[in-house]
Amino acid sequence: MSGKNLEEFYESIFNHADAALILKGCLFERSGYYIDKETGVRCRIRYDAYDPKELILADIKAVRSARASKFSYAIRDYRWDLSMAMYGQGIGAIDGRDPVNYVFIAVEKTRPYHCAVYELESESVDIGYLDYRKSLGLIERCV
């Protein structure tokens, strides 16, 4: 994405009332390391946005379509629920407080860069967490 397009992309996020409100108190693009207590596996996270006061974890996604019907498939296909669960576990391990709300900010890759905000349902977070635990167990057995 070129400079001008990137500007328009981010403008669409901050012009979206809900997205702008969510991101207002966030820390951006932070990395962290932690040791998983159950497996001893060293883990690394790098989240897009986290509000430590409101305990909101936000993941910004550049997508073909920000429509709910399309975006729900992308969550499943790309396993973004697992990623969010891992970010949440990492933040909890590092910061001592788990995120309460998990939010996706979906922005279309092409003009007019339509933006939508979706909260990840608790059932999806739970499924992502179970898959994250399975993956860590596999890593533990392999190393």
User: Tokens standing for 7?
Assistant: 């500007």
Average the pLDDT over 126-139 and give the result: 96
Q: Is the pLDDT of residue 102 over 90?
A: yes
Q: pLDDT grade, residue 86 (50/70/90)?
A: very high
Q: Which DSSP state fits 24? A: T
What is the mean predicted confidence (pLDDT) over 123-137? 96
State residue 1's pLDDT score. 64
Q: Is the pLDDT of residue 106 over 70?
A: yes
Looking at residues 71-83, what average pLDDT do you find? Answer: 95
Q: Half-sphere exposure (CA, 13 Å, Cβ side) for 140? A: 13
